[in-house]
A and B are shown apart, each in its own frame.
Chain A
């Protein structure tokens, strides 16, 4: 079980994550929803420690993740794999090497430096690719793949870490609907079959409802909703996304707001030049 206690992250004077406390059960599939800038991404990154908390505790068993350093921190990161919106594969390496990279935390210096992997590791990598149905692409270069395929390679890379937990930060925000469904199906399957805890940040309210038995809503760095999908009624959606959004369009709230902000910024630009 992962216990987060009064976790804070401040950037300058703004609080990205503001006093978040939450328990995540082993083997759960939790969706975190909220607008852009609600603190979802920062929360996930703090769990992996890509971002350091300003204060608060992250407890995995009796280990305080927030204070880990060096080898202990790397060991924790190996156990909690991350999936990114932009897939973050090494573009010029082939698919199977991108999956083998997931083993780097377990290896000593010299073989890592030479990128030499054992037969057992290669077999594991191929099995991970089979789990996400793209073993036939193993020898292709990563940058020749479509977005959906790249995200599945990223999931295979996460699997090769043999993690206890997968943190997925907007895994489907850059994908077409069909690829998005495949990626979410894959994550759900892994969660069910392997009992790996999955915490996934989502813009898409429908995806969260479909795939997650527990949904956490964030707004302004705080948790404002925590419950099952059937508790997520219109009032709850308004609490998470704001009053200008209905339950049906909730999924697009962040996006349309972003467009509006960008349009306003563009309108401002000539004025700034004039000054």
Chain B
């Protein structure tokens, strides 16, 4: 035991213990091994710069050769995002109600809904796309389903949070009126949670637009496949057209959702 006449110093003045020291060394070693594992090398990066310059140089001016095809693929990409998000939002609403502690009919539903949402959220959408390509075949439907599942995970979580944070006083007033659970949700919980839920849904649409570009790479429809083909055939001017088109679409969707957000909230 330490000398009782001297009060112990607060912990922050203490030297790191043996365990902390070992953990620090282990963390450092982990990082160094990760650097080696990824082949991270400044020299190779500098050697790569001329290649980057050459590719970017070949990208300009963008080629208008397959503009019509790119346009259709872009439209399909947006359609996937729109339908996938809408279906995801619609399905995540009931799931989120089950996953809200004070609204769920039974703890079993609560835990089941939370587990499902966690599963949908943690498995990346690209993996869902691979699964659905096998299940329903190549094409935009597989990508749409992948987006839907991903959005159920995303919206389910944030809808549940919004409903949990909704003002409880009006809900109590409604219970005092004799309203049933569904009425309380429709008349008090949803109005309070709506701004947050609209926000989440619009953000989902933006995210879905970006991810639906990538889903094409695994054959789940959309413009991704066009980009991949152009890059593999070294048609960089064509690739740049596609990249600019994607850029324009994502910006347009973001602008649209910002406008809608201002209007609705």
Contact = CB atoms under 8 A, between A and B. Distances in A.
Summarize B's interface: helix, strand, loop or mixed: helix
Interface string A101-124: 110110101001111000000000
Contacts of B33: none
A76 B186 contact: no
B179 A101 contact: yes
A161 interface: yes
A90 B177 contact: no
Contacts of A115: 186-187
Interface stretch (B166-174, B210-218, B233-241): B166-174
Contacts of B170: 88-91
Nearest to B175: A50
B7 interface: no
A234 interface: no
Interface string A74-106: 111110011010101111110000000110110
A158 to B, nearest CB: 8
A30 to B, nearest CB: 18
A92 B191 contact: yes
Interface in A154-174: 154, 157, 161
Q: How large is the interface on B (under 10, 10 to 19, 20 to 34, 35 or more residues)?
A: 20 to 34
B186 A112 contact: yes
Contacts of A107: 183
A201 interface: no
Which residue, B172, B178, B187, has most C-beta atoms of chain A within 10 A?
A: B178
Contacts of A89: 170, 173
Contacts of B49: none
B90 to A, nearest CB: 14
A228 B177 CA distance: 30
A76 B175 CA distance: 11
A149 interface: no
B178 A114 contact: no
A105 B187 contact: no
Which residue, A48, A75, A101, has most C-beta atoms of chain B within 10 A?
A: A101
Given A50-B175, A88-B170, 14 more contacts: A73-B178, A75-B178, A77-B178, A78-B177, A86-B169, A90-B188, A90-B192, A91-B192, A101-B174, A101-B179, A105-B178, A112-B183, A115-B187, A154-B173
